[in-house]
Amino acid sequence: MIRIRRFFLLLALIAAGACGDDNNLDDASIPNVVDTVTLGALVGTPITTPSGFSIDVGAVRTDRTTDFEFAYNIQPDGQPVFLPRTAIGLPSATAAPGLQLRSETFGEIVLAGSNGYVTDEPVPIEGGQRYVVRSRVICSGLAVPKYGKLEILSFEDRSVTFQVLTNNNCGYKGLQPGLPDQ
């Protein structure tokens, strides 16, 4: 009888400890920072020009890796677009990377949502627009994506420049500078 009581007491202590942390994640350890990134179009720029964007790395060359969330290109009609991986034929076995247009200012975007991302078609972009970005699954231990936000700053020749804040803490969706708590 005493063993059964101890067992239930132990279960109660474990349950109480789990309730103290509402997200059950390790504390965030990587500060969110704002950076500026320039990408060249997939077509019509030197192959050495980065055309892809990876939340965990930044600008990447698409001839060297497929580990990116989206690429930049200009459609035949002149429309600049971001191309999520699935839109260029790179399928994802889990949640597909995507972009979500937002109406808030860059600073007002404070939390990424889980759903509502364009993942399988070109995303037309214009100066001043803001997006939340969901990555491919990078956090393999948790099987979750990472998140970021960006704002289109300018277009020049066949390139786009944007400011971006990335959250490289697995399981966190907070999109403000500093250590996230969400």
Q: Are 18 and 24 in contact (CB under 8 A)?
A: yes
Distance CA 149, CA 61 (A): 21
pTM of the model: 0.85
The pLDDT of residue 23: 56
CA dihedral 162, 167, 168, 169 (to 10 degrees): 180
Q: Give pLDDT, residue 12.
A: 44
Which residues are bridge partners to 98 per DSSP? 134
pLDDT block averages, 10 residues each, the chain of length 182: 53 41 76 98 98 97 96 98 96 86 98 96 98 91 92 98 97 96 93
**CB under 8 Å to 12, separation ≥6 — which residues?**
none
The H or E element spanning position 161 is: strand 159-167
Cα dihedral across residues 145, 89, 76, 42: positive or negative: positive
- Residue from 119, 153, 125 nearest 37 by CA: 153
Q: Closest Cα to residue 59, out of 40, 46, 44, 87?
A: 40
* CB neighbours of residue 42 within 10 Å: 20
For residue 3, the model assigns a pLDDT of 60
The pLDDT score that the predictor gives to residue 22 is 52
Which pLDDT value is given to residue 11?
43
The rounded radius of gyration (Å) of the Cα atoms in the chain is: 20
Place of tokens 């059950």: 24
pLDDT for 138 equals 85
